[in-house]
Structure 1
Amino acid sequence: MPIPCRAAVVGASLVTSLIALTACGASGNSGGSDSASGKVEGQVTFQTWNLKANFKGYFEGLIADFERKYPDARVKWIDQPAEGYPEKLSADAAGGTLPDVVNVSPDLAYPLAKAGLALDLERAAGKYRGEYLDGAWRSNAMPGLPGVYAFPWYLNTGPMFYNKRLFRQAGLDPEKPPKTYDQLFEAAASMAKKSGRRTAMLASTPAIEDFGRYGVRLMNAAGTAFTFNEPKGVELLRHYKDLYAAGALDSQALTAKAESSGRKFQQQAVAMNPGSALDLQTFKKEAPSLYRSIGITDTVSNTGKANMYVQGLMVNAQSRVKPAAVAFAHFVTERKNQMAFARKVAIFPSTGGSLDDPYFTREDGTDATRVRVAAARSLKTAVNYTPVPLSDQMKTVLRNAVAKAVQGKEPPKAALDGAVAECNRLLKTG
């Protein structure tokens, strides 16, 4: 099930198929104007992404409520499996069968918006903007395009776990975990030195969102070129190179995936790692000594803002029932219905004020609420740092460049210059 931190990667076929549509001059006005005004009537096709198996009752009730509110409208719900979802969008877009309302992440919405197949909601439904968290609304703005191309739906982020026992052993205050990168680097160096290089602070190298949280400008204002090789980006990579040399970065960090980083943390070989309520339950069962020492804090950031994972509902710009499609997408994402969904699964609503609900602010002593409260607090100001044009191939380019620089095989500036050049080449060629 692609919840809670579902960060989809656009399939190459989706981008390729939509280049042709863009070249043919498709626009948001295809099939009608951008206006969402008019009578709410007709049949709306609504497509979700691997949600039916676990939430059939919720969505059937939601649809029934909408149809009661708008008696002249009907909703046909389509749920697609997680595997091959980008390819399905590609086929629908190329064949002119894209549903009226489509569940997308920003990276999936991007090529659709470029092809003129996603409705600009700033123009068509801007009156609703104030209902949503500002960061969530802006997460569906697309580089190089005016407007916003999906209603924000459910959100997630991950708090940071840390091992209080390892902090104490290193002479660090277990009640004051690092909040900024400078504090992190200082604490990591101290821990490595104090432990004789036996204990590292981290088990992973920086990804694009780390560059964002460090304060690096990731793309130019027009969204036409990557810029993470600017001096601040080089500075971050130099720090990680120093951490690796000092033993403050786990020796397997260069090849580690999220799962292996989690195992290192569970084995108490590293002191900090992002996680979720499910991880806490695992620690309690499989690593009770770690569980007794667990601290929960916000993700380290120089910007004061955590990373936001966001799902949205895009309206097909070519829909023949545009007023009904916009009304339904708004209905699904309005506060009451998002809160109801959040009580069924570990996600967070994107509507303003929802995160102040006691459900997200009060702990009851359980693992689930400990993490939920911490994550909800950081989501209020979180942003989506990952640029929507950044493909899986580009992420691999950056990861390889980081590995070379951290090992000392290539100077940090040269490594990032090369990564930016290659990512910009891929950006231009699609």
Structure 2
Amino acid sequence: MRSSRAAALALVGALALSACTVGTQNVDTTSAEGEVRGTITFQTWSLRAAYRGYFEKLIDKFEKKYPGTHVKWVDQPAEGYADKISADAAGGTLPDVVNVSPDLAAPLAKAHLALDLDSAAPQYRDEYLPAAWKSTKIPGMKGTYAFPWYLNTGPLFYNKRLFDKAGLDPDDPPRTYDELFDAALTMAERSGGKIATLANVPTIEDFGRYGVRVMNSSGTAFTFDEPKGVELLKRYRKLYRAGALDSQAFTSTPEQAGRKFMQQSVAMNPGSALDLDKFKKDAPSLYEHIGITDAPNNTGHPNMYVQGLMVNAAGDNKATSVAFAHFVTNAENQMAFAHETTVFPSTKGALDGDFFTEQDGTDKTRVRVASAKSLEKAVNYTPVLLSDDMKTVLQNAVTRALRGDESPEKALRRAAEECNRLLQLG
């Protein structure tokens, strides 16, 4: 399942054009009155192959509950998903109910193509976790633009043997960034620089978890270059120079970082229940020493990844679309989907049930319980207005600063200026 997928910047421009070409400026984005009947189209994001049976049964159940309705289900591949939405929006062929992440919902909302649920369906708001409902609020706009669907958060694995060998408490992993940096420097020093604690450079989520204000409240400017953001990079640069951050972290893929963790040359790495199965089979000496914790944060709030269902405000059958989007994301159906997958429901109270709190001795449950606990206080740190191009700009700045090619102050200032330039283009 996906944790996060960013939209291409081209989507913003295309949707701005679509607002003119298909006349969406005059679309009513605040109401969805009418009878629940007729045909709608429902689009998911790379889910058919693994969950076809689940969705076919779900649609059949909806059509029986609302006689006279028909749901056409289409599933798009992960590759080019943002481009597909862009083309449909520009051509006036956007499906009635669309699976979106918050960053995909933002340009659709700005183009008057996303229904404002705070106005059109406020009666459902209290069914969902507040942080999940707020995930598609767009800075500078009033409203919420997608039903929260499934959530995820990445557990952080750590090697207890390596912690113990370095004189660190294997049962008390770092929970704040101060603790993380102290532990990482200790690990590097006591291993003679042979063991790095981290294999990944900081991303926008790290800035958020560190306590950096990444964007102003009005959504008009990125602010990750403020002193606290500079401080984060200075501390990561210290890790890199000490060997506490893997020397190949700038170019390493998640798969490569995972291999280093399995080889036990890196002490901590994010993952999932699927990784535990892999450790058990391919790296048994690591598996017996695996610890599970949350990614460190200074805010008291782990990171939350959100997928949602947006209703096309320009669709011909908004009443049925709202009814279906709510049906898919109600407590009963979200729980059923959670049993099929490794994701978590966004409805209130769902994470308190035995399925997410009781251990049964299996690896899958071990990770599920740990992740569900962290979601209780999780928030989405990635601004909905941060495009894929902007993420690349920030990544390049981080690399320059950590390598010493540029000071952290200059690198972040230039990155913020470029991201703000791109923001204005949208």
- TM-score (ref. length: structure 1): 0.96
Q: CA deviation at 1:187?
A: 0.9
Question: Aligned pair in 2 of structure 1 residues 27, 220: CA closer, same or farther (>3 Å)?
Answer: farther
Q: CA deviation at 1:14?
A: 2.2
SS at match of 2:136: coil
Gaps of 5+ in 2: none
| Aligned residue number for residue 166 of structure 1 | 162
Spell out, residue by residue over 1:325-370, the C-alpha distance to the aligned partner (whole angstroms, 9 max, x if none): 1011000000000010111111111111111111111111111111
| Aligned residue number for residue 365 of structure 1 | 361
Structure 1 stretch displaced more, 32-41 or 192-201: 32-41
| Aligned residue number for residue 330 of structure 2 | 334
Query: In 2, distance between residues paired with 1:22 and 1:45?
Result: 21
SS at match of 1:202: coil
| Aligned residue number for residue 180 of structure 1 | 176
Match of 1:112 among 104, 108, 112: 108
| Aligned residue number for residue 85 of structure 2 | 89
| Aligned residue number for residue 7 of structure 2 | 10
Answering whether residue 123 of structure 2 is matched by residue 133 of structure 1, we say no
Query: In 1, distance between residues paired with 2:30 and 2:273?
Result: 42
SS at match of 2:342: coil
Query: In 2, distance between residues paired with 1:53 and 1:253?
Result: 33
Query: In 2, distance between residues paired with 1:400 and 1:114?
Result: 28
Query: In 1, distance between residues paired with 2:124 and 2:308?
Result: 14
Spell out, residue by residue over 1:279-330, the C-alpha distance to the aligned partner (whole angstroms, 9 max, x if none): 1111111111111110001111111111111110000001221111101100
Counterpart AA for 2:183: A
Match of 1:192 among 184, 188, 191: 188
Answering whether residue 330 of structure 2 is matched by residue 321 of structure 1, we say no
Answering whether residue 425 of structure 2 is matched by residue 429 of structure 1, we say yes
Spell out, residue by residue over 1:51-72, the C-alpha distance to the aligned partner (whole angstroms, 9 max, x if none): 2222222111111111121113
Q: CA deviation at 1:376?
A: 0.7
**Contact 2:197/2:244 (8 A) holds in 1:** yes
| Aligned residue number for residue 285 of structure 1 | 281
Gaps of 5+ in 1: none
Spell out, residue by residue over 1:365-416, the C-alpha distance to the aligned partner (whole angstroms, 9 max, x if none): 1111111111111112211111122122211111111111112221111110
CA RMSD of aligned residues (A): 1.5
Question: Aligned pair in 2 of structure 1 residues 337, 242: CA closer, same or farther (>3 Å)?
Answer: same
| Aligned residue number for residue 214 of structure 2 | 218
Query: In 2, distance between residues paired with 1:121 and 1:24?
Result: 25
| Aligned residue number for residue 205 of structure 1 | 201
| Aligned residue number for residue 226 of structure 2 | 230
| Aligned residue number for residue 373 of structure 2 | 377
**Contact 2:8/2:389 (8 A) holds in 1:** no
Counterpart AA for 2:6: V
| Aligned residue number for residue 33 of structure 2 | 37
Query: In 1, distance between residues paired with 2:22 and 2:405?
Result: 46
How many aligned residue pairs are there? Answer: 426
Counterpart AA for 1:71: P
Query: In 2, distance between residues paired with 1:258 and 1:388?
Result: 23
Q: Equivalent pairs: percent with the same residue?
A: 64
Query: In 1, distance between residues paired with 2:234 and 2:413?
Result: 14
Runs of 4+ in structure 1 over 4 Å off: 23-29
SS at match of 1:226: coil
